[in-house]
Amino acid sequence: MKRQLKKSVVYGLYALSFTLLVGGIVVLGFAAKDVNDSEISYVSKGILDYEEKVPVVNTEVKIIRPYVDTEVTLSKNFYDYQAEAETQEKSLIYYEGTYMPSSGVSYSKGDVFDVVSILDGTVKEVKEDTTLGNVITIEHENGITSVYQSVGEISIKANDTVVGGQVIAKSSTSNISTELGNHLYFELIIDGICVNPENYYDKKVNEL
């Protein structure tokens, strides 16, 4: 004959089991919290620390002169339509009975001197010209183009990449300005317009 447990004992066992279950859950919860608190490291900065990043583009780049020799001097000015008549007269180029306004400037020394790129850029063209002498055209950022005429001993070619201050040629002569002898004729073009280079040296490219 089977013995049956009293209802009071059964209810007591249920209550005890429930208490043990709840207690176990609470204990596990506290243990998990302690582990998480000890292992979690809180992030106070973004993934990219912008304060430590170095700019990719140097916005402080300045236009330099197309030569470094301190003995080089200006031998013919840029023709300024607003200048006085006497100044304009000295900025004319006379060739085969015709006077032409100088769209650039000429630099002379007497001896041959190094010609350098005024900025980083890409060589667009290198060509020979019986009138102008050898011509180098370099394209730069911000719509800037530099043209170097009357040069020799050219050390670059079309599509080459150059850096500011890099020697690209030597000064030479041209048939259009024989009276200047050894010299460099230099043009600076910004957004398709020839400007007076003397007004742009040492200026920051991003301020043009």
- Residue 16: inside a domain: no
Can you give the CATH number for the domain in which 173 is found? 2.70.70.10
Tally of residues, the chain: 208
Secondary structure element (H or E) that encloses residue 10, with its range? helix 7-39
Backbone angles phi, psi at 204, to 5 degrees: -75, 135
| Amino acid (one-letter) located at 82 | Q
- Record the pTM: 0.71
- Residue 40: inside a domain: no
- Residue 164: inside a domain: yes
Query: Cα(first)–Cα(last) distance of the chain, in Å?
Result: 109
Report how many domains make up the chain: 1
- Residue 19: inside a domain: no
> 85 vs 48, which has greater pLDDT?
85
Band of pLDDT at residue 206, cut at 50, 70 and 90: confident
Judged against a pLDDT cut of 90, whether residue 65 lies above it is answered with yes
Judged against a pLDDT cut of 50, whether residue 81 lies above it is answered with yes
> 36 vs 197, which has greater pLDDT?
197
Q: Give residue-wise pLDDT tens across range 111-139.
A: 999 999 999 999 999 999 888 889 999 99
From the number of C-beta atoms within 10 Å of its C-beta (0-12, 13-18, 19+), residue 70 rates as exposed
Give the range of the structural domain holding residue 161, as residue numbers without chain letter.
73-207
- Residue 34: inside a domain: no
- Residue 38: inside a domain: no
Q: How far is CA 166 from the centre of its chain?
A: 16
What's residue 42's pLDDT?
A: 41
Closest CA to 171 of 77, 67, 75: 67
- Residue 18: inside a domain: no
- Residue 64: inside a domain: no
Are 169 and 115 in contact by the 8 Å Cβ rule? The answer is yes
Q: Give residue-wise pLDDT tens across range 159-172.
A: 999 999 999 999 99
